[in-house]
Structure 1
Amino acid sequence: MATIQLFLLALIAVVPRVLAQSPIFGQCVPSTGVTTTATTTTKTTSTTSKTTSTTSKTTSTTTTSKATSTSTTTKATSTTSTTTVASGGTTCTVTAIAQVASATASCTAIVLSNLAVPSSTTLNLSKLKTGTTVTFAGKTTFAFTDWDSDLIDIGGEDITIQGAAGSVIDGNGQAWWDGQGSNGGATKPDHFIVLKTTGTSLLQNLHIQNWPVHCFEITSASGTTITGLTLDNSAGNAPNAASGGLPAAHNSDGFDVSGSTNILITDTTVINQDDCVAVTSGSNITVSNVVCDGGHGLSIGSIGGKSNNDVSDVLFTNSVVKNSQNGARIKTNSGTTGTVTNIEWSNIQVSNISTYGIDIQQDYLNGGPTGTPTNGVIINGITMSNITGTATSSAQNYFILCGSGSCSNFDFVNVAITGGKDDSCNFTPTSGNFKCT
């Protein structure tokens, strides 16, 4: 009996220690690691009379590993669409349009992953939380819809909109293109992307292609830098069954800027069939290191007949315009009023210009110029320097058609575009070495 009692006492002492080593009774399994990667993007805008100074913004993103536990009878997998970031924010990955509203309401880091936007739907990013970063990943697509609403709306303060490596935003323009653009034919979206950003906001590294008409409308925006974009509408150069032998895409402006201030567009390529950049109102706007291919050039206007008809302090610099109708252009609408003040083009290289190397005309109508200029829009303080290159033999190197007394203080220095013929200028720059022959 004593031997049995001793054995039982020893067993009672050992069993708790054995159970404590068993996973079934709560022994912790080593936790999986969490890796946090911080990406810092610096937004720098050169400070001149026509530029804006911006500051840097740091965006944190997080990758969380997934743990899978297995046994001989069951397998459990844990997944989540929301990842906690070390800084205390959240990253929301959006894969369906129905998730966009909740993501923009609650997240400051949003990834749009292979998002397919259905018919009659706008990708609404217009009310982003202050400081939000939105990343387009994979391919973003848009279904055809018979309406004139915009397809992407973006708005917010101190926000970043960026593209992940290899990402593409495809506007499915082929579904709308008919050679008429916004002048008729099928009902088309007014603009592909409307941008109303404030603070020190940044758009970077986006690849956008095949937009229906007018890619960007930058309106009521301020303090925004746009850099490293590729806008490629080259597929619209070819005619289609609806375009009557004309390029299928039409009115495919790259950037339309209105009512905005302190905007920088830089290090960007635009391949399209209309204005590369067109500024219709606003101030302190800089366009630099841009390549324009196939469109209508770097433009002011058209000005007049709109709610805001004043544009000032715009600089186009260090850029290339090729295979385009025009190089540098100012167009004001016939019989309207407004002001165009302190505009400069410098260090612009042009080639294969088919209509006008430099074009300033005050007889513009959407259906075509009238041939008779009006003087309601005042153009004052225009500088062109170091603009060189070639036009085709059927083009005019220079065309200036000002209304009576409405053009003044033009300074053209080292402007040398050759290859065209029959230049026509009814106003001579007040300074510089420019000759219109």
Structure 2
Amino acid sequence: MDRVLAIFMVVTCMASSAMGATTIYNVMSYGAVGNGRSDDSQVSGNIVAPVKNAWNGNQRNAWIVFASIRGLVVKGKGVFDGQGPSWWPNKPCYNDPAHGVFCKGPTAIIFRRCDGLRLDGFSKINGPGSHILIMATNDVVVSNLRVIAPGDSPNTDGIDISSSKNVRIRNSFIGTGDDCIAISAGSSNIDISGITCGPGHGISIGALGKGGNDIVENVRVRNSTLTRTLTGVRIKTWQGGKGYVRKISFEGIKFVAVDNPIQIDQFYCPLKVNCQNYTSTVAISDVSFRAISGTSTAESVINLMCSQSVGCTNIKLDRVYISSSTPGKKVHASCFNAHGTATHSKPAIKCLLR
């Protein structure tokens, strides 16, 4: 179905006048209904979300949603401002019986079932929660975006990809308080290049295995720079999951003072609640790290921590050179049940099993 489902909740459009002053327009005064059904809103300029206390629509988990549009193009030099500071100190909280209470603001912009999606040139700043979510969509090109929030803003992922295929993300700057890019279950054929990431939590696959049978495959991350991020490139899975992650490539990555540059974590449990050891797991195989260099603030710069019951297989590291951001400080690699090979890399990865 070719139609726009756009939800504007007291959205304002900001434009600069010739005198340099900023004028604020409320699109509700220009015919926007904002009922989640009417295709009535076309806005150019800078779009500003309501602050938390003015959030009064029926859509509680997102600010703007586009759904079931073929060939949607969102392009320009405008800014989507999610007014995140009004949400971050007192986020809505939810109880997860398996993993405890977590708190997260609504996603700023969701693109759902928008095959042929093209996003280019605009900025997305200060999301209440995640900035951009692409889900259940095939054939996506994202280019030249700026996604920005303070490094201490909670759960403000830059771009999340879920249940989507054939996604290309190019030449974008992402600096937030969580993952710059996160790839979730059901996603395949993802190509990421030319990303400048930081602050944030790096570029992540997962977390997978929290429920159901999670699959991610054919992901390529290349020619990107991560600066002062909490992690660099990583794969993370919950204990007790099912499914697989395979055919993953990280290549041409540069790290600048990154805390945990290379990481496979199959014991992911961020809230440290009910962190049990299970025999079932998301199987990880065919993962390569090539032509990677840079510095780390940590001593353990490569961490390949795989499931106790099902080890990671065919892990390859080649020309990986990571040193300490503190001159003269030694660094090392750590592994658990990880199988593969390492060539021309420093520090030596002697813990990798064949």
- Which range, TM-score by smaller chain? 0.7 to 0.9
In the alignment, structure 1 residue 352 sits paired with structure 2 residue 257: yes
Aligned mates of 1:372, 1:217 — CA distance in 2? 31
Identity of matched residues, %: 24
Contact persistence 1:226–1:265 (CA under 8 A):
yes
In the alignment, structure 1 residue 169 sits paired with structure 2 residue 77: no
Contact persistence 1:290–1:319 (CA under 8 A):
yes
Residue in structure 2 matched with residue 328 of structure 1 by the alignment: 233
Residue in structure 2 matched with residue 158 of structure 1 by the alignment: 71
Q: Select which of 128, 133, 141 maps to 2:49.
A: 141
Query: CA 1:98–1:400 in structure 2 vs 1: closer, same or farther (change >3 Å)?
Result: closer
Aligned mates of 2:223, 2:166 — CA distance in 1? 18
Contact persistence 2:46–2:81 (CA under 8 A):
no
Contact persistence 1:115–1:140 (CA under 8 A):
no
- Residue 326 of structure 1 and its aligned partner are, at CA, apart by 0.9
Residue in structure 1 matched with residue 4 of structure 2 by the alignment: none
Report SS of the residue matched to 1:309: strand
Matched ranges for 1:37-436 at <5 A? 116=26, 136-144=44-52, 145=55, 148-155=60-67, 156-163=69-76, 165=77, 167-178=78-89, 189-234=105-150, 237=151, 247=152, 249-281=153-185, 282-307=187-212, 309-354=214-259, 356-368=260-272, 370=275, 375-392=280-297, 394-403=298-307, 404-419=309-324, 421-433=331-343, 434=345, 435-436=348-349
Letter in 1 for 2:73: T
Contact persistence 1:180–1:250 (CA under 8 A):
no
Aligned mates of 2:230, 2:271 — CA distance in 1? 16
Query: CA 1:407–1:195 in structure 2 vs 1: closer, same or farther (change >3 Å)?
Result: same
Q: Which has the higher contact order (CA 8 A, sep 6+)?
A: 2
Contact persistence 2:232–2:255 (CA under 8 A):
yes
Query: CA 1:371–1:347 in structure 2 vs 1: closer, same or farther (change >3 Å)?
Result: farther
* Higher share of residues assigned helix: 1
Residue in structure 2 matched with residue 44 of structure 1 by the alignment: none
Structure 2 segments unaligned to the other structure (5+ residues) = 1-7, 13-22, 96-100, 325-329
The more displaced of 402-411 and 365-374 is: 365-374
Contact persistence 1:182–1:213 (CA under 8 A):
no
Letter in 2 for 1:214: S
The more displaced of 191-200 and 375-384 is: 191-200
Aligned mates of 1:425, 1:186 — CA distance in 2? 29
Contact persistence 2:313–2:338 (CA under 8 A):
no
Aligned mates of 1:299, 1:312 — CA distance in 2? 13
Aligned mates of 2:263, 2:232 — CA distance in 1? 8
Contact persistence 2:88–2:105 (CA under 8 A):
no
Contact persistence 1:151–1:189 (CA under 8 A):
no
Rg bigger for which structure? 1
Letter in 2 for 1:177: W
Contact persistence 2:212–2:242 (CA under 8 A):
no
Structure 1 segments unaligned to the other structure (5+ residues) = 1-94, 100-112, 238-246
Deviation sequence 1:205-228 (CA, Å, 0-9, x none):
111111111111211011111111
Aligned mates of 1:408, 1:427 — CA distance in 2? 9
Contact persistence 2:140–2:168 (CA under 8 A):
yes
Contact persistence 1:122–1:151 (CA under 8 A):
no
Report SS of the residue matched to 1:342: strand
Query: CA 1:417–1:316 in structure 2 vs 1: closer, same or farther (change >3 Å)?
Result: same
Aligned mates of 1:97, 1:422 — CA distance in 2? 52
Aligned mates of 1:292, 1:150 — CA distance in 2? 24
Query: CA 1:381–1:192 in structure 2 vs 1: closer, same or farther (change >3 Å)?
Result: same
Query: CA 1:180–1:328 in structure 2 vs 1: closer, same or farther (change >3 Å)?
Result: farther
Contact persistence 1:181–1:252 (CA under 8 A):
no
Query: CA 1:179–1:259 in structure 2 vs 1: closer, same or farther (change >3 Å)?
Result: same
Letter in 1 for 2:46: G
Aligned mates of 1:358, 1:303 — CA distance in 2? 17
Aligned mates of 1:295, 1:395 — CA distance in 2? 20
TM-score by length of 1: 0.63
Deviation sequence 1:42-92 (CA, Å, 0-9, x none):
xxxxxxxxxxxxxxxxxxxxxxxxxxxxxxxxxxxxxxxxxxxxxxxxxxx
Report SS of the residue matched to 1:423: strand
- Residue 350 of structure 1 and its aligned partner are, at CA, apart by 0.7
Aligned mates of 1:190, 1:426 — CA distance in 2? 37
Contact persistence 1:159–1:200 (CA under 8 A):
yes
- Residue 429 of structure 1 and its aligned partner are, at CA, apart by 4.7
- Residue 417 of structure 1 and its aligned partner are, at CA, apart by 1.3
- Residue 423 of structure 1 and its aligned partner are, at CA, apart by 2.9
Report SS of the residue matched to 2:88: coil
Report SS of the residue matched to 1:174: helix
- Residue 373 of structure 1 and its aligned partner are, at CA, apart by 7.6
Aligned mates of 2:349, 2:291 — CA distance in 1? 16
Aligned mates of 2:276, 2:334 — CA distance in 1? 12
Contact persistence 2:245–2:282 (CA under 8 A):
yes
Q: What is the RMSD of the two structures over their aligned residues, measured on CA atoms?
A: 3.4
